[in-house]
A = this chain, B = another copy of it.
Amino acid sequence: MAQKPSIPKGTRDFNPIEVAKRNYIFDTIKAQFQHFGFQPIETPSFENSETLMGKYGDEGDRLIFKILNSGDFLRNVELSSKFLKEIFKKCLENTFLVIYKKKFENVSKDEFENEIDSENLVKFFEKSLFSNELFLNTFSNNVIKKIKSEFNKKEPYIFFAIAKYMEKTVVDNDNLLKYSLIFSKVTERAIFANVFIEDNFKDVANKISEKALRYDLTVPFARYVVQHQNEIDFPFKRYQMQPVWRADRPQKGRFREFYQCDADVVGSQSLWQEVEFVQLYDAVFSALKLEGVTIKINNRKILSGIAEVIGAQDKLIDFTVALDKLDKIGEEKVKEEMLSKGISKEGIEKLQPLFELQGDFSEQIEALKAILSVSEEGKKGIEELEFINTAVSELKLQTAKLQLDVTLARGLDYYTGAIFEVSAPEGVKMGSIGGGGRYDDLTGIFGLKDVSGVGISFGLDRIYLVLEELNLFPETISESIKVLCINFGEAEALTCLKAIKVLRAHGINAELYPDAAKMKKQMNYANKRAVPYVVLVGESEMSSNTFTLKNMANGEQQQLSLEDLITTLQ
């Protein structure tokens, strides 16, 4: 390998300081998870494909990293999929050759092969196929129009056209040998056409890959709960902090491998859990000294209720997508969008109080009560929000604030009750740093019905950036060892190692510089690693059984006994 090695796009190496900072966040979250009674589980990095596929929508499916079957992975691929079979058959029918005959009759085999590179082939089809009488007579205008447009749009489709064409035409078999190359080319490309077409592409993918990297922690968790339902004591409070992988286009702050930190409870519908999750967010961010985050809360039932009131039950998604943009595009544009989606003018007028929502949580609730007085579901949503708000007010938050946000929707398809989102303290430009909600049928996808779940997630990478921006990482994080012993030679080194052994037993991170290198080099190393103390043991120290301790910050030196050395460094 000549060039400098690199890592796949969207992935990251973490150096010691980065690992330390990340672990600081992990450990802080983990400690709170445990204080709250959550228990850790871990699931495999890859799941069976059928566990993941179809759970995240088409876009999600596309972003799932698939693992090639090991060994002869193509064993199960039937390239004889219907279409391919057709193509082969048609090739053998030799119905297509005549088109080429004239053009290539006097061309040598080598020239011929050059001639039919893909670009020429395409051009040639365009000219000869689309002006060929037989072709034009064979298909209806509509079909030809479609083939032409496909042809311009997406090269591989040409082979559908060819296949179709060949199906209908019968010509002589002369010169088979000479033109065999065309077929080889056409057929080869037909195979591509076959796999390019999405259904077939998926087909092939499913056959050569039966495992896929975890896309999130929620689906594996649901799978875990169903698989181990007999061993689990419900309600089951679990946390999970593991990497997930997405074949997303990498961009600033978006990676192809990243950690998710999730806490969920399944098997109870109690609203105390929503209360606990608000407290948990508060506890974690307070422990991280990230003060002033806003925990936004909403309820799916409120959104449904509003949609009901304005007669847009069937447009719930359109309605919430538009409402969700209120912050960004303002009231008028939101109304325009709703109108354009077919929500009635009268309905939108009923929303007016929503746009004028003001005041604190309770005041907003009162306004919502007026709007939602005729919706049973809406009233249920209000009741739930009130319960949570009252309990949280009684229990008090340390540094976060709870805020009602009726525009909050997140993955609406998913949530059935509470919806949470956490935003960084004011002044920090960053998307949400956490989110979650209640979903009444988490495990239904795996056949276990009526298991309600509620959970929240922490956005590690964004929290990292926020802590970095606000300079909130503890200073000691970058300290890997407390003391480096300078190496003056064999006997001195051994003396140092004896002391180091004792220091380590006292929990003090210590090391010996491995080579008896020049003093300057060793001190340089100490400086670069930001070691706070250096120990020097030369002949005089050895004979007096002492250690010279140098404070690297102020340069002060002390001559100490081992006991005093321990005390000073502890």
Q: Which residues of A contact B (CB under 8 A)?
A: 1-2, 4-8, 11-16, 19-20, 22-23, 32, 34-37, 39-48, 50-51, 62-63, 65-68, 70-75, 78-80, 84-85, 88-89, 91-94, 173, 176-177, 179-181, 183-185, 187-188, 191-192, 195-196, 201, 204-205, 208-211, 213, 223-224, 226-228, 231, 233, 235, 237-238, 243, 245, 247, 257, 265, 268-270, 272-273, 275-276, 279, 283, 391, 394-395, 445-447, 480-481, 484, 487, 493-494, 497-498, 501, 504, 507-512, 514-515, 525, 528-529
What is the bound-complex CA distance between A177 and B94, given in angstroms? 9
For the complex formed by this chain, how many copies does it contain in all? 2
Residues on B with C-beta less than 8 A from A501 are 279, 395
A259 to chain B, nearest CB (A): 10
Residues on B with C-beta less than 8 A from A497 are 272, 275-276, 279, 391, 395
A185 to chain B, nearest CB (A): 7
Q: Are A37 and B514 in contact (CB under 8 A)?
A: no
Q: Are B184 and A85 in contact (CB under 8 A)?
A: yes
Q: Are A35 and B510 in contact (CB under 8 A)?
A: yes
Contact of A184 among B75, B92, B184, B208 (CB under 8 A): B92
Q: Are B5 and A227 in contact (CB under 8 A)?
A: yes
Nearest chain B residue, comparing its CB with the CB of A512: B272
Residues on B with C-beta less than 8 A from A525 are 233, 235
Residues on B with C-beta less than 8 A from A245 are 45-46
A–B Cβ pairs within 8 angstroms, 8 of them: A36-B504, A65-B70, A74-B195, A268-B514, A269-B515, A276-B497, A394-B494, A394-B498
What is the bound-complex CA distance between A4 and B225, given in angstroms? 11
Q: Are A1 and B201 in contact (CB under 8 A)?
A: no
What is the bound-complex CA distance between A20 and B34, given in angstroms? 11
Residues on B with C-beta less than 8 A from A1 are 50, 445-447
Contact of A74 among B13, B204, B209, B515 (CB under 8 A): B204
9 extra interface residue pairs, beta carbon distance < 8 Å, beyond A8-B211, A16-B41: A1-B50, A22-B42, A23-B40, A45-B243, A67-B213, A79-B191, A92-B183, A208-B208, A395-B501
Q: Are A8 and B46 in contact (CB under 8 A)?
A: yes
Of all A-B residue pairs in the complex, the 5 with the closest CB atoms, nearest first, are: A37-B511, A11-B44, A16-B39, A270-B514, A70-B247
Residues on B with C-beta less than 8 A from A184 are 80, 85, 88-89, 92
